[in-house]
Amino acid sequence: MKSGHATRAFLAILWREMLRFVQQKGRFFSALVRPLIWLIVFAAGFRAALGLSIIPPYKTYITYDVYVVPGLIGMIQLFAGMQNSLSMVYDREMGSMRVLMSTPLPRSYLLLARMLSGTFVSIIQVYAFVIIAMLLGTRLPVAGLIMMFPVLILTGMTLSALGMFLSSWIKQLENFAGVMNFLIFPMFFMSSALYPLWRMREGSVTIYELCLLNPFTYVVELIRFTIYREPNLMALGIVVATFLVFGIAALVGYTPARGGPTAGRGG
């Protein structure tokens, strides 16, 4: 595989995803409205329940709306990763997946390029949300938001790998949409996106333990600690391991010799 061919292939995949994103204006609108509702409406109720300040694992007190922003960033990337995988199922049903996978480039590279292009789209949504949140009065450290960029690539790739793994085994578009909804909400609510883990433990030890088993918890924690420029090596290690596990599983799922979704009729 020559670098020039690989670069042109990635740029073509990225351009296609960007065109799809621009043309689907409702996708961008919904990606912003969903977390903004949580930030503006629900944060008011949670602030009253939890108090004006909480004690996170940082050196200072922060208000609830500041605490919840990393969780909402993770939610944007989670939905974007699943949306990217949903488009993979659609392309497979329409037959364009066969054209992509039949190019003289390694299948693993094509899948990584597809994940990375979807991740870049999600990062655009994330920073658009952050700008609006700051205009609404949420105080976030600008330096931390800049440092967050490479972390967003890793977390976006991890969530895209999860969605890609699911899309490799689900044959029909309708089935994937149902599984996607069944997966997203438990992953989001049983994590540290909305509440600190110590609050979860006070309410239910079982839910707390499920939160610790949820890889999305560590996606959120990695984003949260990066924004405040504090290391979290455990979260980083778990996110990297999750990406490797689901990335390899997705590659195996898309291998024709193993009966992957591009092996048979309809590509």
Question: Residue 80: what residue type?
Answer: A
DSSP letter at 228 equals T
Our CA angle for 2, 6, 7, nearest 5°, is 115
Torsion of the alpha carbons at 47, 220, 164 and 17, rounded to the nearest 10: 80
Whether pLDDT at 265 is above 60: no
3 state DSSP class of 54: strand
Cα 120 to Cα 138, 155, 173, 184, distances in angstroms: 24, 11, 24, 20
For residue 119, give both structure tokens.
Answer: 């991740």
The span from the CA of 166 to the CA of 148, in Å, is 27
Question: Residue 35: what residue type?
Answer: P
User: Per residue in 149-205, pLDDT tens?
Assistant: 999 999 999 999 998 888 777 766 666 667 777 788 889 889 988 888 887 888 888
Looking at residue 73, its pLDDT comes to: 94
User: Per residue in 198-249, pLDDT tens?
Assistant: 878 888 889 899 999 999 999 999 999 999 888 899 999 999 999 999 999 9
User: Per residue in 32-53, pLDDT tens?
Assistant: 777 887 777 766 666 555 554 4
If we measure between CA atoms, which residue out of 17, 16, 3, 14 comes closest to residue 105?
Answer: 3
Looking at residue 12, its pLDDT comes to: 79
Residues 61 and 226 sit within 8 Å (Cβ to Cβ): no
Torsion of the alpha carbons at 167, 171, 176 and 178, rounded to the nearest 10: -150
User: Per residue in 50-76, pLDDT tens?
Assistant: 554 444 554 455 667 778 889 999 999
The span from the CA of 66 to the CA of 53, in Å, is 10
